[in-house]
Amino acid sequence: MLFLYFCKKSETLERAFITNSNYYTSPSHKRALFDKLLFNSRLYFLYKYFGVVLRSRKKALNGTYDTKAWYESSHEIFDIIENCGGKFHLEGLDNIDPKGGPYVFISNHMSALETMIFPGIIAPKMDVTFVVKESLINYPFFGPIMRSREPIVVSRENSREDLMKVLLEGKEILKSGRSIIIFPQSTRKTVLNPSEFNSLGVKLAKKAGVKIVPIAIKTDFWGNSRFIKDLGPLNRKKVIHMEFKPGVSITGNGKIENDAIIDFISDRFKKWTV
C-alpha cells in the first residue's frame, strides 16, 4: 500500500508540473507525525532523504537509474519536504516548453534543495543534465547518481579551462536535444552578489544557438551545514520559492541578457523577503 501511495503521489506531481503554470503546497497539507514528534529536528527528514538516496544509488550502480527513475526520486524528495513542513510556491512552470527547447536553464544557487527538486520539475518534460563541480561526482553516496546523469564536470580551479569545457561539451549536449542547468555562482549563497554571477550560461546558449530560461529561487528552507554542507538544518518558517521566466534568445555579446537575469533574481529576492 505504501508503494502504491508514493506511485500515486509521483504521478500527481508529474501531471501538475507538466500541465499547470503554478504549483502551491496546500495550506491544509499536514506534517508527518514522526517529524512533529522529533521536536522540529531534521532527523526524520534525513532518515527519509537517505532512504531515497540509497535506493537511487543502488539503481545507478546497477545501470537502471534512467531519466524516469531520476525524476521519480526527485518527486519522492519533494513529498518528504512537504511532509516535513516545506511549503512550495512554484511559478512559471509553463515556461518549461519542450517545443522551444533545448534550453540553458540559469539559476541562482542556495542549497541542496534545488539540485534535488529541479529534475522532478524539468525532466518529465525534457531530457536535462547539470554543470557540476568535480567534487560532487566523487561523493560516496550521491556521486554514482550524478555520474549516471552524464553531467558536464568542471574543476572550479581554472576558469578558462572550465569555460572551454562547458562550451565544447555543452554545445554537443544541446545539439543532441538535451537541456542543461547551470548555477553561475561559484558556491551556494543566501544572497545575490552580481559580481559573483558569471555569464557562462549565456555564453553557452549563444554558442549553441539556443534560448536561456532564467530561474529565480529562494530555498533557504534547507540550510547549509558548516561541516557537511548538504545536511543543514530545516527552517520550516521559510517558504520555498521558484520562478521560471520565458525562454530568451541571446543577442549581441549576451551582457544585456545576463544583467536581466541578475535583475530578475534580485527583484524576486525583494518580493519574497517582504
pLDDT digits (tens, 9 = 90+) for 208-239: 999 999 999 999 998 776 656 667 788 999 99
Does 44 have pLDDT greater than 50? Answer: yes
Predicted pLDDT at 147:
94
What is the mean predicted confidence (pLDDT) over 1-24?
68
- Phi, then psi, of 24 in degrees rounded to 5: -130, 130
Confidence bin at 138 (pLDDT 50/70/90): confident
- Phi, then psi, of 208 in degrees rounded to 5: -85, -10
Predicted pLDDT at 3:
46
What is the mean predicted confidence (pLDDT) over 142-147?
91
Instruction: Report d(CA 197, CA 24) in Å as an integer.
Output: 28
Provide the edge-to-edge strand list for the sheet that holds 152-154.
23-24, 88-91, 240-244, 211-218, 103-107, 179-182, 128-133, 152-154
Question: Tell me: the pLDDT tens digits for 4-14?
Answer: 444 556 667 77
DSSP state letters, 25-82: --TTPPPPHHHHHTTT-SHHHHHHHHHHHHHHHHHHHHT---HHHHHHHHHHHHHHHH
Instruction: Report d(CA 264, CA 184) in Å as an integer.
Output: 14
pTM of the shown model:
0.90
Return the minimum-mean-pLDDT range out of 50-64, 215-229, 249-263. 215-229
Does 204 have pLDDT greater than 90? Answer: yes
HEC string for 197-229: ECCHHHHHHHHHCCEEEEEEEECCCECCCCCCH
Instruction: Report d(CA 241, CA 246) in Å as an integer.
Output: 17
Which domains, and CATH codes, for the chain? 2-272 (3.40.1130)
Of 242 and 161, the structure prediction assigns the larger pLDDT to 242
Confidence bin at 15 (pLDDT 50/70/90): low
